[in-house]
Amino acid sequence: MSGDQTAQVIWYVLALTLVGSALLSRRVSLKGALGMALIWVGIFLLVLIAFSYRQELGLVATRVQTKVTGAPRQQMEGNAIRIALAADGHYWVEGNVNGVPARFLVDSGASITALSEATTRLAGLIVDQQRIAMMQTANGPVEAKYSVVPTLAVGAIKTSDLTVVVSPAFGEVNVLGMNFLSQLKSWRVEDGEMILEPK
């Protein structure tokens, strides 16, 4: 058994011991004890599921909040863009690639901007099949190919001939990386909002 598996077994034993001791200390009947045990198992499963799908649930919560409150996720302030922190803990911004609308995760930890295959196809970009990059992502190493975006815009911020990477491993996610952010006058986080200022 690995260290992680041992820790999980210990956690489950402690959880069951806690529930069992609580039931025994109350002198509950066997039928009542089983009923309470099932309720606790259900609660633990719900917490486990919520934790496992927290990012997806965060995206759903952000979309519902936007629909219900009508609150924009990003606002223009002069030429600067203010982006609210999403429920999933990330900053997402709406932009376009060659005039094609696209949603981007702003990631200062990414050295280069990354596009999904779908966005690349819709924007009519040419992918260099000969030039391959091995990218280190949070999910491990990924093979990607290079392309160049003639025009990438986020609000009033526009870049030309931006080098990007494309890979099916990115799924539907587009990422604004440091090669985009470094072209700005500044970018910073204040009071839970990311502020992008063009030069």
How do the pLDDT tens digits run along the chain, 199 residues long? 677 778 787 888 888 787 777 766 777 677 777 787 788 889 988 888 888 877 667 666 666 766 665 555 788 888 899 998 887 888 999 999 999 999 999 998 889 999 999 999 999 999 998 898 888 877 788 889 999 999 999 988 999 999 999 998 888 889 999 999 999 999 999 888 899 999 8
What are the two backbone dihedrals, phi and then psi, of residue 3, each rounded to the nearest 5 degrees?
Answer: -60, -40
Q: Which two tokens stand for residue 107?
A: 């990631």
Contact indicator for 163, 170 with CB cutoff of 8 Å: no
Query: With the C-alpha atoms ordered 54, 60, 63, 65, is the resulting torsion angle positive or negative?
Result: negative
Average pLDDT taken over every residue of the chain: 84
List strands edge to edge, sheet with 186-190. 74-77, 80-84, 193-197, 186-190
User: Residue 162 corresponds to which amino acid?
Assistant: L
Q: Is the pTM of this model over 0.85?
A: no
Q: Give the C-alpha distances (Å, rounded to integers) separating 86 from 5, 73, 128, 178.
A: 33, 8, 34, 20
